[in-house]
Amino acid sequence: MILIQYTIQKYENEEELLEKLQNILPEKDIYRSLDTLIGTQRVRRIGPEILQNNESHTELPELPDHLKEILEKI
């Protein structure tokens, strides 16, 4: 999925994206990954054929100090 996200950054047009990735991944896997990325809001559709990474959604929020200790213990 990371590969697909980086490919989306380079080729926003879905048709062009599929064309570039078909040499690397089976078409079924490409569509499955796209559906997963869209479902988890890491990628969004802008228009009928344009895909875009939803970078504002995928950034991790700043971890509050009181949760840092809990995270370190896990």
Give the per-residue pLDDT at 70.
45
Give the per-residue pLDDT at 61.
43
Tens digits of residue pLDDT in 14-63: 999 999 889 888 999 999 999 998 998 888 999 889 998 787 766 634 64
Q: What is the pTM of this model?
A: 0.72
Give the per-residue pLDDT at 59.
61
Long-range contacts of 35-44 (CB under 8 A, 24+ apart): 36/1, 37/1, 37/4, 37/5, 42/1, 42/5, 43/4, 43/5, 43/8
Parse the chain into domains and list their residue ranges.
Answer: 2-73
